[in-house]
Amino acid sequence: MKLPIVAIIGRPNVGKSTLVNRLAGQQSAIVHDEPGVTRDRTYLPAYWGDREYLVVDTGGLVFNDETEFLPLIRQQASLALKEASAAIFVVDGQLGLTSADEEIAEWLRQQTVPVLLAVNKCESPEQGLVQAAEFWQLGLGEPFAVSGIHGNGTGELLDELINHLPIVENIPENNEINVAIIGRPNVGKSSLLNAFVGEERAIVSPISGTTRDAIDTVVERDGQIYRLIDTAGIRKKKHIEYGTEFFSINRAFKAIRRADVVLLVLDAVDGVTEQDQKLAGRIIEEGRACVVVVNKWDAVEKDSYTIYDYEKILTEKLHFTDWAETIFVSAVTGQRVEKILELVNTASEAHKRRVSTSVINEVLEEAVSWHSPPATRGGRQGKIYYGTQVTSQPPTIALFVNEAKRFNENYRRYIERQFRQQLGFKGTPIRLLWRSKK
């Protein structure tokens, strides 16, 4: 999920940067290099009500000669408009309409992006109406009289603006959860699959557009649909002699990529092997949610310490997936098999979760007050300006700081731990993007 982008367009000195800072709550400019947005342009996270967006100032170019800067503005603006959901065209209400405004307006009318017209520098409401009136002739609809410096009029502008922004909050296209059952040969994947579906209830559906042997199995529990991904290999496996299956790691990797939640199946008798670690590593790289399923629990001789010893081994050998829940099951006896799907639900919810900017910044403020960011050799203090969640699946939080390289691994892990402690995210990896402000 990407935040919608709002481009601010206009001649130099009309007050674009002032307005941008006002919309973004006086944050200083940042360089945002999320996928899908252009590098080296300054984006600022902003919100109005519960709607979040990124605001980008297209200007910053100052030229003495009006004829020279127009094509440049146009070039900048045209790049910004390509990725924008809406644009705000800013004009100077004190100066009045200029021919450059007219040229920009004419060009804007040819664009497909919705454009709002902000008549800036209208400090006094009554005078503002008069100042704004003359801009009707730009043919861009109602001029909004605003003051970037004092903030008047910006509320009306924003009320209208958010009507033009796509809603990115949890669009539930389908409520299936894609689940991949992954593990070495003989850990019990096909036994687990059978335990989930019971032969007669299984719906097996080939995936359109893929090879015939990639087959999903669909199961339902309490109204929730689970699509068990690429079960073809797993189902066939039943008839192959124990130990002879060729382990296709590529097939496993492909299934991981299609999954929302991966069941990483381990064999309790064998413990954690290198192949298991490799699969776990891939799950993180792909940013998938995960449940660690320790199977064949019935085959382990147990005393009251066994489970703790196991958990210790798991924490050691799979420390990089310590956010994943672990469950000890037996596919053969059916012990706790149904419980796996409950953990899948939790992991899937965490994976899709979006946390508001204000909550993220509360966590950050608290974290920083306990433990300040490291300073460099030069003695300059590391500073976190603010954070915002830029996408989910997995939850990805951008942190805007004065100098990203100041923040060492230790401190980054500390901040990640704080997010986990305060906000949960059980079952999903989270990503932190450390971004230096320009």
Lookup result for tokens 């009006």: 66
Q: How far is CA 424 from CA 1, 51, 266, 355, 411, in A?
A: 20, 23, 25, 11, 19
Q: Out of 14, 232, 343, 344, which residue is the one contacting ligand GDP (CB under 6 A)?
A: 14
CB of 316 to ligand GDP, least distance (A): 23
Q: Which is nearer to ligand GDP, 78 or 393 (CB)?
A: 78
* x-or-dash string of contact with ligand GDP, 183-222, rule CB under 6 A: x-xxxxxxx-------------------------------
Cβ at position 146, least distance to ligand GDP in Å: 7
CB of 399 to ligand GDP, least distance (A): 26
d(CA 57, CA 22) in angstroms, rounded, equals 12
Nearer to ligand GDP, 239 or 377 (CB): 239
Backbone angles phi, psi at 196, to 5 degrees: -70, -50
Number of residues that bind ligand GDP (CB under 6 A): 34
What residues contact residue 64 under an 8 Å CB cut-off, 6+ apart?
Answer: none
Q: Show the CA angle centred on residue 321, arms to residues 402 and 277, nearest 5°.
A: 120
Binding to ligand GDP in span 221-240, by CB under 6 A: 234, 237
Q: Return the SS3 of 281.
A: helix
Contact status: 41 vs ligand GDP (CB under 6 A): no
CB of 11 to ligand GDP, least distance (A): 7
Of 333, 276, 326, the residue nearest 299 (C-alpha): 333
Asked if 273 touches ligand GDP (CB under 6 A), the answer is: no
In contact, 393 and 291? CB cutoff 8 Å: no
Candidate segments 6-14, 217-225, 271-279, 383-391, binder of ligand GDP by CB under 6 A: 6-14
Pick from 30, 117, 252, 331 the residue near ligand GDP by CB under 6 A: 331
Buried b (16+ CB within 10 A) or exposed e, 333-368: eeeebeebbebbbbbbbbbbbebebeebeebbeebe
Comparing C-alpha atoms, which of 403, 401, 412 is closest to residue 367?
412
Residue 297 among known ligand-binding residues: yes
Three-state DSSP class for 342?
A: helix
Shortest spacing between CB 229 and ligand GDP, in angstroms: 14
Under rule CB under 6 A, residue 4 binds ligand GDP: no
Token output for 390: 């830029």
Q: Rounded distance, CA 324 to CA 343, Å? A: 10
Provide, rounded to whole angstroms, the least separation between the CB of residue 150 and ligand GDP.
6
- Interacting stretch for ligand GDP, rule CB under 6 A, among 44-52, 76-84, 161-169, 182-190? 182-190
296 near ligand GDP, judged by CB under 6 A: yes
Q: Is 119 in the site for ligand GDP (CB under 6 A)?
A: no
Residue (242 or 370) nearer to ligand GDP, CB: 242
Find the shortest distance in angstroms from Cβ 78 to ligand GDP: 17
Footprint on residues 364-423 left by ligand GDP (CB under 6 A) = none
Token representation of residue 70: 């127009």
Q: From 143-151, 221-229, 353-361, 390-398, give the range in contact with ligand GDP by CB under 6 A.
A: 143-151
Residue from 249, 299, 313, 359 binding ligand GDP (CB under 6 A)? 299
Work out which of 45, 128, 143, 148 binds ligand GDP, going by CB under 6 A.
Answer: 148
Cα 248 to Cα 260: distance, rounded to the nearest angstrom: 20
Write the CA distances from 132 to 8, 89, 116, 338, 391, integer angstroms.
18, 13, 13, 65, 38
User: Exactly one of 3, 41, 55, 121 binds ligand GDP (CB under 6 A); which one?
Assistant: 121
Please report which residue ranges of 238-373 form alpha helices under DSSP H.
249-258, 274-285, 306-317, 337-352, 357-370
* Binding interface with ligand GDP (CB under 6 A): 10, 12-18, 59, 120-121, 123, 147-149, 183, 185-191, 234, 237, 242, 245, 295-296, 298-299, 330-332
Query: What residues form the annotated binding site for GTP?
Result: 10-17, 57-61, 120-123, 183-190, 230-234, 295-298
